[in-house]
Amino acid sequence: MTDKFKQPSGVRDTLPAEYARKRTIQDRLLGKFGAYGYRQIDTPALEYGDLYSEAGRYELRKLFKLSDCDGSLLVLRPDMTMPISRIVATKFPKGRYKLCYLGSTYRLAPRAGLREFTQAGVEYMGASGTACDAEAIALAIESLRACGIRDFIIDIGHVGFFGGILRQLDLDESARKELAALVERKDVIGESLFAARHGLTSHDLDLLTGLPMLFGDGSVLAKARELCVNDEMADSVRELEKLNTALVAAGYGDCISFDLSLVGEMSYYSGLVFQGLCEGAGSSVLSGGRYDRLCDAFGRSVPSVGFAVSVDALVDVLQSNAEGDPLPDEVIVCDGTPEGIAAALIRLRQQTEQGKVVDFLGDKDTAAIDASGCKDVYFAKGDKQ
């Protein structure tokens, strides 16, 4: 094959066996979302650039861009949350809305090697409080279980804890982003060098370098409470303690852990943040949190919580454990006469109406029958069977 038919980097074809697994995952996710009262919604793949650069706080250089006929800047959606926020803030009356989605999203910067990926997720909009946060995490757990994922953990943090530390430091926006990235990567050496460059005190440095150690089960929250130096940090720990108590009592204690260095995108999230990690995945398969300020750009306050599942990541995780392609219940062949073809089509209709999976191979072909792997073969002839 010549080079001109190569695919762009970060995209891939989905062949039948893989697509069948992907479709199963999508159906199970949407089924679980629906069972929890979430109603499906869809948005255009194309949006105006301002939606993400201003309202969504994205950097345009990281998005796929194109020009409209009138010269307006358009982008391919990098997520589904912003357009859903646009819809709720501008088209729905005030209230609570439980919405779910399934669609393709696009980013210039690869995510686990992909620049086009399929996301399924939920948005609980117009709702606040620990109860709603707890439901989001419970649904995330049940969604992964429904897909057949067993060895996983939901890692939970709160942007308020790190935000409280930032309040103590005299840093500009660029330095804050740099520090947040260092904390997220648990780069203790990088944090020490950062502290030296920016003249931070030894106490400030102790706070920063102690963050990566604040991970584990609910007991780590007591250690976090001891480090609080202001109300913002203390409030965030109290919220996580209340959340932990509820989730443990509901039987989800073995599925959750806490990580106070999990800060997420602080211009996006306003409180709770969490991610789903599982064996066999190079990065998180699920991410979400609370984003109470996203709708502010539309002139409306809509407290919200939600999460997105990377369908492609789940397909990859389950791929190694997948059995061979499922065999049809029956293979139908015919003698090639009009009467034989008609008899085959009648048999095909009857069997599929009973819910069976049937492979009609057309004319009798021994090699094709053997390749199908199916032992139940029906031969339709023009005369009476």
pLDDT at 322: 55
Residue 94 CB-density burial (10 A; 0-12 exposed, 13-18 middle, 19+ buried): exposed
Question: Side chain identity at 167, as an amino acid letter?
Answer: R
Q: How confident is the model at residue 305 (pLDDT cuts 50, 70, 90)?
A: very high
Which residues have a Cβ under 8 Å from the Cβ of 208 and sit 6 or more positions away?
165, 179, 183, 191, 194, 195, 200
Give yes or no for a contact between 382 and 340, defined as CB atoms under 8 angstroms apart: yes
The total number of residues written for the chain in this structure: 385
Residue 361 CB: number of other CB atoms within 10 A? 18
Q: Are 78 and 62 in contact (CB under 8 A)?
A: yes
pLDDT of 129 reads 93
In angstroms, rounded to a whole number, what is the distance separating the alpha carbons of residues 101 and 33? 9
At residue 385, does pLDDT exceed 50? no
Segment 66-119, tens digit of pLDDT: 999 999 999 999 999 999 999 999 999 999 999 999 999 998 876 667 889 899
Pairing of strands 73-76, 256-259: unpaired
Weakest mean pLDDT among 43-47, 106-110, 144-148, 328-332: 106-110
**Residues near 278 by Cβ (< 8 Å), separated by ≥ 6?**
144, 149, 151, 152, 153, 285, 317
d(CA 379, CA 385): 8
State the pLDDT at residue 266. Answer: 56
**What is the mean pLDDT of the segment spanning 32-46?**
96
* DSSP tag of 62: G
What's this model's pTM, rounded to 2 decimal places?
0.85
Q: Is the pLDDT of residue 366 over 90?
A: no
The correct answer on CATH 3.30.930.10 for the domain covering 3-319 is: yes
Residue 51 pLDDT greater than 60, yes or no: yes
Asked whether residue 31 carries a pLDDT value surpassing 60, the answer given is yes
Calculate what percentage of the chain has a pLDDT beyond 90. 50
Amino acid code (one letter) for 55: A
Structure tokens at 123: 């948005």
pLDDT digits 0-9 by tens, 179-203: 888 887 888 888 889 888 888 888 8
Tokens standing for 301? Answer: 């306050």
